[in-house]
Structure 1
Amino acid sequence: MSGRILLVDDDDAVRVVVAQALRRSGHDVRTAASLAELERELVSHPPDVLVTDVVLPDGDGIERAQEVLATRPGMPVIVLSARNTLTTAVRANEAGAYDYLPKPFDLDTLTRTVAAALARAGSSAPVEPRGEDLPLIGRSAAMQEVYRVIARVVSNDLTVLVSGESGTGKELVARAVHDLGARRAAPFVPINMAAIPRDLIEAELFGHERGAFTGAGQRNAGRFEQAAGGTLFLDEIGDMPIEAQTRLLRVLQSGEFTTVGGARTIRADVRIVAATNRDLQGAVASGQFREDLYYRLAVVPILLPALRERRDDVAELARHFLQKASDEGLPRKTLDAGAVAALEAHDWPGNVRELENLMRRLAALSRDDHIGAAEVQGMIGRAAAVEPVGDVGIEAAVRAMIDRLARNDPAALDDGSLYDRVIGEVEKPLIEAMLARHGGNQLRAARAIGLNRNTLRKRLDVLGIDPVGRGAD
């Protein structure tokens, strides 16, 4: 273990989720809910780092931390507090705390702070937690509520229904429920119900026997079998055909299933997490979704907020995605205050997914190391011309562009230029996206698009695209 951590907090949910996160980072974590429990743990299991709340049922955490530091000066203390005032921060500093984190705080920030504290204290092998282990980022009140619900479900197998707009990170929530729970050593198996042909959904979910239907040359295990002991993530559950809903309901009720064409009963040893961007209650009312299945799935509902409803998180998310792009080989970039303001002012119809894509494009295509407001606004404007909102698709984006021309330049619909206009609108962001994906390497981008390198270079000149480096070519 990289370090012994004593976590003191009287909030059960906070203790569960923080302790799980620290354990996933390789630490030996003990918890206490009061100063009395803290005293017992200090004697029986002396920690390398003390993480403590301020307001505890039987006293003040900062005062006790100061006393602890008087006898153990080499032990870092990290103070947490929901009383996010200047006075609290000053008191923590005067007490000698290593750091002070106001609630609500981001779990990744806390794990990094603990790792840094251990490193300073000379821990034998401090482990820097990987960002992908804690993919949910945000300090906003809306995200803190999501964290609290996750904390309450990781210790049980209750079915979870995650709802929210496209691009809000529903699969990340599902993975967090799995990764922090008792089934984390077993598989996490996702299946997108909207991507499976109607006549193949049952075979995909439950598997099939050889000869069960034309083309079934051998037995195949379905997703329920593949996820045995772990978590089955049913993405876009609202797009599941009604006939398949009936069979899924039977499995959830009985805990058993048979393969297509099979007779042997198989136990469904999985945790179910479902997700949707649709209004399932509305679908129930219209007869498109079974009411009894809805209530089987929505045992624990989690509503993910749209990014426009958590603007306080935009800057932190943007910097995280720029760092992620840098880790993957794209140029390292930073945002100035104007760029952050421009990002926070945008409504983000594509939510976190749209923000991540924008940061990747900026990392690859921005000329300067420091990104400003004008560049952010320009990139958002170019993307908006063709980028569909959520999952509505390219057809809707083209229709929106035509409607825009009809309002702003109606003559363009009759002057014979419409084909070139539409293709031009699509071509530039397509080339920019492929350059971004391949780190500015024109040869690889050309191959991905289906052009030869010389043709791509000509199109870069015609379209006014400034390529980022020559890569390997």
Structure 2
Amino acid sequence: MTATILVADDDAAIRTVLNQALSRAGYDVRITSNAATLWRWISAGEGDLVITDVIMPDENAFDLLPRIKKARPELPVLVMSAQNTFMTAIKASEKGAYDYLPKPFDLTELIAIIGRALAEPKRKPAKLDDDMQDGMPLVGRSAAMQEIYRVLARLMQTDLTLMITGESGTGKELVARALHDYGKRRNGPFVAINMAAIPRDLIESELFGHEKGAFTGAQNRSTGRFEQAEGGTLFLDEIGDMPMDAQTRLLRVLQQGEYTTVGGRTPIRTDVRIVAATNKDLKQSINQGLFREDLYYRLNVVPLRLPPLRDRAEDIADLVRHFIQQGEKEGLEGKRFETDALELMKAYAWPGNVRELENLIRRLMALYPQEVITKEIIDSELNSDVPERPMDKMNVRTGTLTISQAVEENMREYFSGFGDDLPPAGLYDRVLREMEYPLILAALTATRGNQIKAADLLGLNRNTLRKKIRELGVSVYRSSRTT
């Protein structure tokens, strides 16, 4: 039998698009613009799946969902929303929605989700405490952040081990805390340990505890982080810095669910969820013999990569507002940002990622008396913060040579520097990157940072130029200052 899909959205254009797409996919479709009609259909036993917007003219879908789940717990409900925040995704999961789709959504993905929802056994909805409904531990409405929200929402009620990767400052511990605070282990402890901050010969003792007399200076028995995190979540930050002996012990915990203290003989059962994080390439560490491959696959059950801030520049305005609100709660003076100032921040590469942005906002709130933050202030602050871009032996020479001749001569010298060995793999992409950076920087300098003019000068689409600026880390504000 053909499945019937009930669609509720107050946007006529979205209703039309969904009606056409779902009908072409072979489904019977019923469309309404309000929650009252949707509820009447559901109460009458109609429909095999529901697609509903959150904000409706007569009722919020999050208020309607509990009634739907009580009346027809087997009915899958897909929630759509233009309010694309972490809490929207979590509330959708908490209220019993099968999945959450941020607007705008991909129709191909929607059709695939509908197919899975109609085929899969019905899932038990998550449940959050009422006092967890406020606040937003993660900030951003970009497509990259939407995918992170959806993954986290699906993981909340599981104990799957998570591996979070990403550059320093992208918020790996914040994600781990969100997973704990909104998951089924939220009533247990959240314990974090940074492998890079502990002397390597003490890591095993820190993790597993030690017995009295286990080593010189061990005058008393000491509990480890596993014992402290019992029933909760253990966050292993910078896991790539864990020494091999400790890796072997950790692997045993993941395989057998037990460990022994340093100097102890009795195995101790443990009930801890592991969330690991690193800014290193662990596969490269495996090839170098620095990380156990079997441990990597035990930790990497669910991989989650956090994007650098330069790849989600559209989130900067939301992050700025968030950090200002935090600063105001701490007694700092509130600020407003000129549009040009925000645009300048969006064009900046942010090598320190979200942590660097947060530090900048706090500094501006603490040190600048004026209420409005201008482009000139941001220009000055970012220019004083950014180190010069490191140079290497692939720099092109100046003189009477053509660009092609200079590159050829430079490459000869580059290869000769390795003697009988070959340079690292990936040389083609690296050379192109080295050529693109000064070319784009020169074009931006010539146009005083005007990206529209620079794109025309280079013969590129503006969106392509913006993408390359972010990928290459070209500092637009520096080129705009050059005269």
**Equivalence for 2:35:** 65
For 1:128 and 1:192, the matched residues in 2 are separated by 27
**Equivalence for 1:287:** 289
1:106 equivalent to 2:85? Answer: yes
SS at match of 2:286: helix
Q: CA 1:333–1:151 in structure 2 vs 1: closer, same or farther (change >3 Å)?
A: same
**Letter matched to residue 64 of structure 1:** N
For 2:222 and 2:331, the matched residues in 1 are separated by 39
1:80 equivalent to 2:59? Answer: no
**Equivalence for 1:312:** 314
Q: CA 1:58–1:379 in structure 2 vs 1: closer, same or farther (change >3 Å)?
A: farther
Q: 5+ unaligned residues in a row in structure 2: which ranges?
A: 9-13, 41-51, 62-78, 92-129, 392-483
**Equivalence for 2:334:** 332
1:347 equivalent to 2:320? Answer: no
Equivalences for residues 239-250 of structure 1 within 5 A: 239-250=241-252
Q: Deviations over 1:257-312 (max 9, x none)?
A: 11111122111210000000000111111111110000000000000000001111
Q: TM-score, normalised by structure 2?
A: 0.58
**Equivalence for 1:275:** 277
Equivalences for residues 443-458 of structure 1 within 5 A: none
Tell me if structure 1 keeps the 8 A contact 2:260–2:267.
Answer: yes
**Equivalence for 1:376:** 378
1:231 equivalent to 2:233? Answer: yes
Q: Deviations over 1:19-72 (max 9, x none)?
A: xxxxxxxxxxxxxx9759x9xxxxxxxxxxxxxx976987567523264899xx
Task: State how many pairs are aligned.
Answer: 311
1:141 equivalent to 2:143? Answer: yes
For 2:132 and 2:238, the matched residues in 1 are separated by 35
Tell me if structure 1 keeps the 8 A contact 2:309–2:354.
Answer: yes
Q: CA 1:127–1:297 in structure 2 vs 1: closer, same or farther (change >3 Å)?
A: closer
Equivalences for residues 458-473 of structure 1 within 5 A: none
Q: TM-score, normalised by structure 1?
A: 0.59
Tell me if structure 1 keeps the 8 A contact 2:195–2:236.
Answer: yes
SS at match of 1:310: helix
**Equivalence for 1:187:** 189
1:365 offset after TM fit, Å? Answer: 1.3
Q: CA 1:62–1:324 in structure 2 vs 1: closer, same or farther (change >3 Å)?
A: farther
**Letter matched to residue 106 of structure 1:** T
Q: Deviations over 1:178-230 (max 9, x none)?
A: 11211110000000001111110110000011111111111111000000000
**Equivalence for 2:368:** 366
**Equivalence for 1:207:** 209
For 1:69 and 1:339, the matched residues in 2 are separated by 47
For 1:283 and 1:152, the matched residues in 2 are separated by 30
**Letter matched to residue 196 of structure 1:** I
Tell me if structure 2 keeps the 8 A contact 1:104–1:141.
Answer: no
Equivalences for residues 30-179 of structure 1 within 5 A: 63-65=33-35, 67=37, 80=53, 95=57, 102-103=81-82, 105-108=84-87, 130-131=134-135, 134-179=136-181
- More divergent stretch after superposition (208-217 vs 182-191): 208-217
**Equivalence for 2:299:** 297
**Letter matched to residue 359 of structure 1:** I
**Equivalence for 1:434:** none
Indicate the RMSD between aligned Cα atoms, in angstroms: 3.5
SS at match of 2:34: helix
**Equivalence for 2:455:** none
For 2:145 and 2:321, the matched residues in 1 are separated by 18
Q: Deviations over 1:364-401 (max 9, x none)?
A: 1123111111111111122225xxxxxxxxxxx9x969
Tell me if structure 2 keeps the 8 A contact 1:108–1:137.
Answer: no
For 1:300 and 1:145, the matched residues in 2 are separated by 14
Q: CA 1:101–1:355 in structure 2 vs 1: closer, same or farther (change >3 Å)?
A: farther
Q: 5+ unaligned residues in a row in structure 1: which ranges?
A: 1-32, 39-52, 71-78, 82-91, 113-125, 386-396, 402-473
Tell me if structure 2 keeps the 8 A contact 1:366–1:375.
Answer: no
**Letter matched to residue 65 of structure 1:** A
**Letter matched to residue 336 of structure 1:** E
1:103 offset after TM fit, Å? Answer: 3.5
Q: Deviations over 1:86-128 (max 9, x none)?
A: xxxxxx78x456799844601357999xxxxxxxxxxxxx979
